[in-house]
Amino acid sequence: MAASTIPASFSAPQVTRYGLINSLNVINVTAFGEIVQKFGFTPYIGLNELAGNEEKSDNKQVRWYEEHGRALNFVTAAGAVSGAAGASITVTVGAGNYWSNGTLSLPSVGMEFRSAQTGIITRCTAVNRTTPFAHTFSITPIVSTQAATVAAGEELLSMGFYQVGGSSDVTETIIPTVDRYSNYNTELRWDTTLDDLAMMEKVEFSCNGSHAWFTFQQQKDELRQYLQREYNLMNGIQANNLPYDESGSDGVLAQVAANGQTLNYSQFGTQTVMAQVDRMLSAVGAPGEYDVLAAKLPFQDMQNSIANEINNGAIIYAEGSPMGGYDIKANFKSITMYNRKLNLTNYQIFDEQFMFGASGTGIQSNLSLWVPRGKTTGLGQDQKTQVIVPRFCLTYQQIGGANKWHMWQSGGYADNPNGTIANKSYHNIAYFGVKLYGAIQYLTTYKQ
């Protein structure tokens, strides 16, 4: 690890004149070369912003609603119950199958269930919801020679009110529940103050003790803020221990860690790990296209594995995708596997060695993030119109009607001078958050 990539120490916040011009004033330093910027990266969040995957938020807290569970439902049995052929058994509803503080659960008289494990079909004949989180229901096999026996954890899939018989009466209403997700926008701020002496020098000057160029300082602030937004929107979490009133914001990884999926593996294999990834994604109805943001190590593992295990190293797309082909320009290389298109890239934000000059041995050096592409649909607030939302959505606020990246100046040398002090301060502040629609379809993989 080259030590030179580690930034020099930062000084105390005061502006002093840099002594490039020596005391005899013999040397007049005027010629200066260009400043070379060495480190580039693929700004995934920035790309989504450019693609319009963003929403302006009126409020610091952003909320969104998603359907809970699937259209078809099931319950598990809390414990094993044996039954004779054709006889009724009483089953306790297993943990995780309750809602409304344990007062509601799925089984309802007349509902039929098919056991996922045995295939036996039963009909619910009685329900007891007296004790919260300990509901019982009785089931009887609909074929007299079969037994309704269940094992602990057995999954009873609801077939609904089926085979209800002639002159049937009204059945119980089964209400689909809605999950309310929330996140916050939070602040990111940078300030730089240049005094008049610094501005006199024009070429090289001292700002807070650091050796700098006038315009480079501002450029660097903007770049730093942009990179930090990318990094923070990936890694941020809600806070509850700040010395002031600030909620913080959950980044992409925190949302995936809570509501998405994680797969740990020891060795990347296309037909093992990739196949398991595909199964995990398919199990939650994932879309047909994913962006795979991989740190350098897993990215190399994937490339090696794909090249070794698949003829011709899989198909590399030339161009063409819903994003109009800029995925290639942004260093994404696409393959199709198991009928799903995967756009692979080395996402440098996860490479702490690349981004920070750190050792690169942290847990993120083995991280890949699988982001579902495209948009999804739902019902608008009027319950009639369809809404279409991006799967990956940046949220932002424009406080006081200001710009998305709000910048202003202050001081006696500001564009509109104010104050008595002979200096000029630049202030940058932005308010951002991120929300993931259908976080369960996001996946992180860690090589362990």
Q: Which residues pair with 156 in a beta bridge?
A: 75, 115
Of 151 and 402, the one with the shorter C-beta distance to another protein is 151
H helical segments located in 30-188 = 44-50
Please identify, using beta-carbon distances, which residue of 228 and 267 lies nearer to another protein.
Answer: 267
Q: Is 101 in the site for another protein (CB under 8 A)?
A: yes
Closer CB to another protein, residue 177 or residue 228? 177
Neighbour tally for 367: CB within 10 Å: 22
Q: How many helices (H) and strands (E) does the chain have?
A: 8, 25
Only one of the segments 108-116, 174-182, 190-198, 403-411 lies at the binding site for another protein (rule: CB under 8 A); that segment is: 174-182
Which CB sits closer to another protein, 381 or 386?
381
Find the part of the chain contacting another protein (CB under 8 A) among 33-41, 175-183, 287-295, 339-347.
175-183
Sign of the dihedral through C-alpha 359, 362, 368, 374: negative
Contact with another protein (CB under 8 A) among 178, 200, 242, 318: 178
Kind and range of the H or E run holding 228: helix 214-235
Compose the 269-288 pattern: x for residues touching another protein by CB under 8 A, - for all others.
Answer: --xx--xx--xx--xx----
Looking at beta carbons only, is 229 or 435 nearer to another protein?
Answer: 435
The CA-based dihedral angle spanning residues 243, 249, 252, 254, taken in that order and rounded to the nearest 10 degrees:
50
Stretch that binds another protein, among 28-36, 94-102, 201-209, 338-346 (CB under 8 A): 94-102
Beta strands 261-265 and 392-397, pairing class: unpaired
- 99 part of the interface to another protein, by CB under 8 A: yes
The span from the CA of 332 to the CA of 318, in Å, is: 11
Compute the distance between CA of residue 201 and CA of residue 213 in angstroms, rounded to an integer: 9
- The least CB distance from residue 349 to another protein, in Å, is 20
Q: Please report, for residues 34, 253, 281, the alpha-carbon distance to residue 373 in angstroms, rounded to integers and kept in the order given.
A: 40, 16, 13
Contact pick of 53, 193, 261, 410 for another protein (by CB under 8 A)? 261
Is 255 a binding residue for another protein by CB under 8 A? The answer is yes
Residue 285 gets the label, from left (phi > 0), alpha (psi -120 to 50) or beta, of left
Q: Contact positions toward another protein, by CB under 8 A?
A: 66, 68, 80, 96, 99-101, 152-153, 177-182, 237-238, 250, 254-255, 257-267, 271-272, 275-276, 279-280, 283-284, 363, 440, 448
